[in-house]
């Protein structure tokens, strides 16, 4: 059968599948409606024990779930109509004379159950042959074991609206022409589905099920986040009995990035998964103590901060270590641990306990507190003792105690603590170590103290029940501190995919987290490196290397216009030049004006909108929730992980400190096709 005829067969099968599902859904709708009618018509006559209600409720839930599955299948098949498959691999099994042909697409398609598929899901074991092997000897792991043979032929397809645009037959994996064509496409305001161009090193990460904690260090534009999401889609596909989308959590940098990546999993045939920032979780756990600064508040302070002697710690600590940074380190944790140990004897004054007929001697309480409950965090021990007393009294009475009585017992026992207030305890620690006390009178917790406070909370009181998370994705791993990783290890006991780029840190000093992750998570951490960038043109990457002096990044050869640095005498002239250049970017779907800080971004956006009538310019702040096409103006730290067809960077002259240089690197590496920088040589007022 020739290629056109095979495509026709596949599309006809898809149409039939869609028609069959529509009929099933229609029948299901009628059944669901009939169930509702039966329930309300016969509700008063159901048996008194509720068995009929239970049975009818379960039957209705089953039909609703079935309907949801039908809808998911329908959407999947409708999506496949546009491009049913993108690859083909012919594999001759060992001992056979004739090769089997497998077409690769975003989902499985077969005419009926137990029949050979017309299209294989890209996540299926046999599809690994397409990504991992050139022509020649090959193998793949099937349910029956490792199957050996030879790849005899490979093809790649560009199909659009159900029509073949071109076919490439090649011996090497993922032909440069297809890869370059994909890279040339404009950013569509969402993370790219890279399934048609997955490279061998990326495929190895996606299909890795043998390592509990996979840490991916990848350069800017290497597709780290796309690979991580494809990995989640792969794991969900292969572990449906033990892993659902609701049990996967992504720790993302901000809500803008979360929205940016939200579209890719549905494209891969999976539901959206949960996401949040670690800051949000921390603030939720500490909300009784007030509002808290976030990471971006901290960055803004660092951007405007002048180095001064007052910012450094006392002489007892390294003079080059900033206090805010030190509070996130292993050494600070050890100081806190020493303080927590001292609380064992200093925080509690144990006395005889009496309440109505309930009594317990001081010696008994001490024995429970210091011996039998020594593994329980100190602020939770009296609650355990209270539970012991209540249980004994209820057994004696032969009935449950009133809630107000239980509460009274807990309150009386807790009065033996000098304080249970977390801020009071933390300030005691700060005072004992000669540090400035934390003043939260304005209801705001400084960012540098948020995670030490959370660590202290978990150390002195029982942690909340662990979240039902069975796989955790941590993006931008270089921006998490040692202390934050210690907390993550306590919070989540599950496999993890951790990814980031040491070079793209949002601090003046870089840290290689891969050096200390094994000390926190154990020897389970498996490191993988991605050193090839697919995002920017060769000209942009060469420009970035010259300007930032970063080496070691391999760029896919894709050519475009040379980046430019444009000098002006005044800011007014600079804005005029930049506005004119932005207006010329007619073909760009996504344009970014990337600034150093929030105030600069607000000012630049206002100038573009008011003076140059660019009403489509949108200011993105740390509270923004959506990322859309058009002109986006934002500080550098909100651009992390995003990519744009064209990037414009004003006020190059202001990038002077080490942190500014890091910000500039992040801004430069966001550009796909076009990059321009603007500087004012002679600063004047507008």
User: How would you class 214 by CB atoms within 10 Å of its CB: exposed for 0-12, middle for 13-18, buried for 19 or more?
Assistant: buried
**Facing residues of 444 across strands?**
291
Residue by residue, DSSP assigns 54-83 as HHHHHHHHHHHHHHHHHHHHHHHHHHHHH-
Q: Cβ contacts of residue 151 below 8 Å, gap of 6+?
A: 89, 90, 91, 129, 133, 134, 135, 136, 137, 138
At 297, list the tokens.
């508040």
Q: Specify the range with the lowest mean pLDDT, choosing from 27-31, 49-53, 166-170, 622-626.
A: 49-53
The predicted-structure confidence for 589-604, as pLDDT tens digits, reads as follows 999 999 999 999 999 9
Q: Reduced to 3 states, what is the DSSP secondary structure of residue 444?
A: strand
Name the more confident of 192 and 661: 661
The predicted-structure confidence for 428-463, as pLDDT tens digits, reads as follows 999 999 999 988 778 889 999 999 999 999 999 988
pLDDT of residue 318 exceeding 90, the answer is: no
The pLDDT value recorded for residue 34 is: 82
Percent of the chain's residues with pLDDT above 90: 58
pLDDT of residue 465 exceeding 80, the answer is: no
526 band by pLDDT with thresholds 50, 70 and 90: very high
- Mean pLDDT along residues 474-481: 93
- Mean pLDDT along residues 144-153: 94
- Mean pLDDT along residues 479-492: 94
Cα 398 from chain centroid?
52
The predicted-structure confidence for 602-646, as pLDDT tens digits, reads as follows 999 999 999 999 999 999 999 998 888 999 999 999 999 899 999
The pLDDT value recorded for residue 312 is: 37
The pLDDT value recorded for residue 311 is: 38
The pLDDT value recorded for residue 256 is: 87
The pLDDT value recorded for residue 406 is: 94
pLDDT of residue 321 exceeding 80, the answer is: no
pLDDT of residue 3 exceeding 90, the answer is: yes
Cα–Cα distance, 25 to 29 (Å, whole number) = 6
173 band by pLDDT with thresholds 50, 70 and 90: low
568 band by pLDDT with thresholds 50, 70 and 90: very high
* Mean pLDDT taken over the chain: 88
Name the more confident of 291 and 264: 291
The pLDDT value recorded for residue 48 is: 60
- Mean pLDDT along residues 184-198: 73
pLDDT of residue 43 exceeding 80, the answer is: no
pLDDT of residue 548 exceeding 80, the answer is: no
φ and ψ at residue 138, rounded to 5 degrees: -155, 170
- Mean pLDDT along residues 100-113: 92
The pLDDT value recorded for residue 314 is: 38
The pLDDT value recorded for residue 51 is: 67
- Mean pLDDT along residues 301-308: 68
pLDDT of residue 306 exceeding 70, the answer is: no
pLDDT of residue 296 exceeding 70, the answer is: yes
pLDDT of residue 316 exceeding 50, the answer is: no
175 band by pLDDT with thresholds 50, 70 and 90: low
Name the more confident of 522 and 635: 635
**Sign (positive or negative) of CA dihedral 562, 567, 570, 573:** negative
- Mean pLDDT along residues 195-214: 89
Q: List the helix and strand counts (H, then E) for the chain.
A: 23, 24
Q: Reduced to 3 states, what is the DSSP secondary structure of residue 437?
A: coil
The predicted-structure confidence for 348-357, as pLDDT tens digits, reads as follows 999 999 998 8
Give the residue ranges of DSSP H helices in 43-199: 51-82, 128-132, 176-184
The pLDDT value recorded for residue 189 is: 73
483 neighbors 329 (Cβ within 8 angstroms): yes
pLDDT of residue 47 exceeding 50, the answer is: yes
Percent of the chain's residues with pLDDT above 70: 92
CA nearest 632: which of 651, 654, 647? 647
Q: Beta strands 444-445 and 525-530: pairing type?
A: unpaired
Cα–Cα distance, 480 to 130 (Å, whole number) = 36
The pLDDT value recorded for residue 546 is: 86
The pLDDT value recorded for residue 354 is: 94
- Mean pLDDT along residues 421-428: 96
What are the distances in angstroms from CA 636 to CA 191, 618, 647? 18, 15, 11
The pLDDT value recorded for residue 319 is: 36
Residue by residue, DSSP assigns 223-261 as -HHHHHHHHHHHHHHH-TTT--GGGEEEE-S-HHHHHHH
């Amino acid at each position: 059968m020739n290629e056109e005829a095979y495509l026709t067969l596949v599309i006809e099968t898809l149409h039939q599948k869609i028609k069959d599902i529509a009929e099933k859904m229609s029948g299901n709708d009628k059944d669901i409606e009939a169930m509702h009618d039966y329930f309300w018509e016969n509700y008063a006559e159901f048996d008194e024990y509720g068995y009929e209600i239970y049975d009818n409720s379960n039957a209705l839930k089953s039909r609703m779930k079935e309907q949801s599955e039908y809808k998911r299948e329908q959407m999947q098949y409708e999506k496949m109509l546009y491009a049913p498959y993108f690859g083909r691999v012919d594999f001759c099994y060992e001992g056979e004379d004739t090769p089997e042909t497998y077409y690769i697409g975003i989902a499985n398609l077969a005419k009926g159950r137990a029949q050979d598929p017309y299209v294989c899901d890209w996540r299926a074991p046999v599809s690994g042959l397409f990504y991992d092997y050139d022509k020649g000897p090959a193998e793949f792991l099937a349910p029956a074991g490792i199957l050996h043979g030879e790849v005899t032929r490979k093809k790649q397809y560009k199909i659009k609206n159900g029509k073949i645009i071109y076919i490439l037959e090649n011996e090497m994996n993922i032909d440069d022409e297809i890869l370059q064509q994909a890279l040339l496409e404009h950013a569509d305001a969402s993370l790219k589905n890279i399934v048609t161009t997955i490279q061998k090193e990326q495929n190895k990460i996606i299909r890795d099920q043998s390592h509990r904690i996979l840490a991916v260090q990848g350069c800017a534009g290497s597709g780290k986040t796309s690979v991580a999401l494809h990995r989640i889609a792969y794991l969900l596909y292969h572990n449906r009995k033990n892993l659902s989308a609701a049990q996967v959590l992504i720790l993302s940098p901000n809500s803008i990035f979360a929205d940016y990546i939200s579209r890719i999993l549905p494209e891969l045939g999976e539901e959206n998964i949960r996401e949040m920032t670690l800051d949000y979780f921390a603030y939720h756990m500490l909300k009784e103590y007030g509002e808290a600064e976030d990471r971006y508040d901290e960055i803004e302070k660092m951007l405007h901060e002048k180095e001064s002697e007052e910012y450094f710690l006392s002489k007892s600590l390294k003079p080059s270590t900033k206090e805010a940074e030190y509070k996130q380190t292993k050494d600070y944790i050890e100081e806190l641990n020493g303080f927590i140990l001292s609380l064992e004897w200093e925080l509690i004054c144990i006395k005889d306990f009496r309440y109505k007929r309930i009594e317990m001697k001081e010696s008994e309480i001490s024995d429970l507190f210091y011996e039998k409950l020594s593994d329980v965090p100190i602020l939770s021990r009296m609650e355990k003792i209270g539970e012991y007393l209540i249980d004994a009294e209820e057994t004696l009475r032969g009935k449950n105690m009133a809630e107000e009585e239980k509460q009274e017992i807990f309150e009386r026992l807790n009065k033996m603590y000098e304080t249970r207030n977390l801020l009071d305890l933390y300030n005691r620690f700060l005072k004992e170590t000669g540090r400035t006390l934390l003043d939260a009178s304005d209801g705001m917790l400084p960012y540098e103290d948020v995670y030490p406070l959370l660590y202290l909370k978990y150390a002195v009181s029982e942690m909340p029940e662990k979240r039902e998370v069975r796989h955790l994705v941590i993006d931008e791993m270089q921006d998490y501190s040692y202390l934050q990783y210690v907390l993550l290890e306590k919070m989540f006991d599950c496999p993890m995919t951790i990814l980031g780029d040491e070079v793209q840190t949002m601090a003046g000093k870089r840290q290689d987290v891969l050096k200390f992750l094994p000390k926190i998570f154990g020897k389970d951490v498996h490191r993988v490196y991605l050193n090839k960038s697919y995002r920017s043109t060769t000209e942009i990457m060469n420009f970035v290397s010259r300007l930032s002096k970063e080496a070691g990044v391999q760029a896919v050869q894709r050519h475009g216009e040379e980046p430019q640095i444009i000098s002006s005498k005044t800011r007014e002239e600079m804005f005029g030049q930049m506005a004119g250049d932005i207006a010329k970017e007619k073909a760009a779907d996504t344009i970014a004006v990337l600034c150093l800080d929030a105030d600069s971004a607000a000012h630049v956006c206002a100038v573009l909108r008011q003076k140059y009538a660019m009403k489509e310019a949108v200011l993105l702040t740390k509270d923004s929730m959506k990322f859309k096409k058009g002109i986006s103006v934002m500080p550098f730290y909100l651009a992390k992980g995003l990519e744009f067809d064209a990037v414009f960077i004003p006020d190059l002259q202001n990038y002077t400190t080490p942190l500014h240089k890091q910000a500039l690197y992040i801004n430069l590496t966001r550009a796909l096709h076009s990059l321009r920088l603007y500087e004012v040589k002679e600063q004047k007022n507008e």
